[in-house]
Chain A
Amino acid sequence: MAFFEPPTPQPPSAPRQPVLHEWDEPDDSLGREVPLQFVIGRSQAATIAVRRITAYQNGFAFEVSVRLLPGRELTDPSGFFGPRAQRRTHNGLPDELFRFGLEFADGSTVTSLQVTGIGGPNRPRGPILAGGGGGGGDGRFDMRYWVWPLPPPDRLTFLSEWPAQDLPLTRREIDTEPIRTAAKAPV
């Protein structure tokens, strides 16, 4: 009898079908493009913009684009964003941590410090921000997010702050009508 035995073959399992909820990004629609682009924060060192908005019937997706002045490139991007940076928040938010958030017209908020995974089982009590995938380098980063639900009529505010790049807390309001109109368009 051999010392190392191959494992017992397992019967093939059916492909896993994720259970999608009304608060998840749909998997049966491409949504509609919203050709809006706007800067939500700017300093001498960095420009932060929202781009590539896609509206769905139950929410919207967008990208946060970060552009850094030459010479301000990040040697360790995980320090400005992502899990490693967020784990260091026990002593307050580090200056290196870039943060942004959204505020709906009804006063509800969600921030990049509350990013959730896809497919959570429980109905969220307020808006969610999911995703955060993306990439970049050399002072150029683009991260994609999903927001549920659609923002109510009136204004939607994007807030951003990044002390290490001299960006104070900055608010940028937009009208939600283009997003809400695109969400209703046939796909």
Chain B
Amino acid sequence: MAFFKPPPPPPAPPERWRRPEWMLPDNYLGQPVPTDIELARSAKVRIVLRHLIAYPTGIEFQLVGLVHPVARNDEAVGGFVGRPYYSERNEDPSRLPDGLFRFGIEFADGSKATTLQDQHIAYHGPNHPPSPWLQPSGGGGSSPGHLNAGYWVWPLPPPGLLAFVCEWPALGIPLTRREIDSGPIRAAAVQTTPLWDEE
């Protein structure tokens, strides 16, 4: 029996984690779709939807807001980036606080998603989150008075109208709905090419 024996072969590397289809893909830059639409306006704030980018599996966009100087110290401005404010500050869970900015999308088939959905459910269990899925993808304030919130929506909206809905009572925004044709989004989505092939 040999004194020096070759070591056993190393274990096989773990299978590389694959990004699920419902998450913002990292191997595409996507294709921009001209948008820049005013979603809502009041005496205290103006909210615009822009920088919509189409991917094969969904869309990404930003909501940007400009707060009037008289309202910039309003505590409710902190409610623009959703649910944490709601869960920590809401004293009456049976109603939504006026300071909470609510935002949602609705597909042409009637299915919808909002910022009030529980984000944790997407990360538990092997299945997809509910479809459609609306997920925050960064944001905050870039300068005094400016608001910025990014969102990712899975999947790509079906043909027909795509609705964006928001409401922010404390800043004077009633329930407001804007609709756009999903056609240009779907056309842009097929133009985008992967940066690399997934193994």
Contacts and interface: CB of A to CB of B under 8 A. Distances in A.
Interface of A: 15, 17-18, 25, 27-30, 32-33, 35-37, 39, 47, 49, 51-52, 54, 61, 65, 67, 69-70, 118, 131, 133-135, 138-140, 142, 144
Given A15-B73, A25-B142, A52-B62, A70 B33 contact: no
Given A27-B144, A67-B195, A70-B16, A142 B29 contact: no
B29 A33 contact: no
Contacts of B53: 37, 51
B26 interface: yes
B21 interface: no
B143 interface: yes
A47 B195 contact: yes
Nearest to A140: B26
Contacts of B181: none
A49 B31 CA distance: 12
B136 interface: no
Interface of B: 16, 26-27, 29-36, 46, 48, 50-51, 53, 62, 64-66, 72-73, 138, 142-146, 195-196, 199
Contact of A69 (B33, B144, B146, B196): B196
A128 B74 CA distance: 32
A70 B24 CA distance: 15
B57 to A, nearest CB: 15
A70 B66 CA distance: 38
Contacts of B48: 30
B26 A27 contact: no
Contact of A37 (B32, B73, B138, B143): B32
Contact of A29 (B27, B66, B73): B66
Contacts of B145: 27-28
Contact of A27 (B32, B35, B51, B143): B143
Nearest to A53: B51
Given A27-B143, A118-B143, A140-B26, A33 B196 contact: no
Nearest to B199: A70
Contact of B32 (A25, A51, A118, A135): A51
A70 to B, nearest CB: 7
B73 A33 contact: no
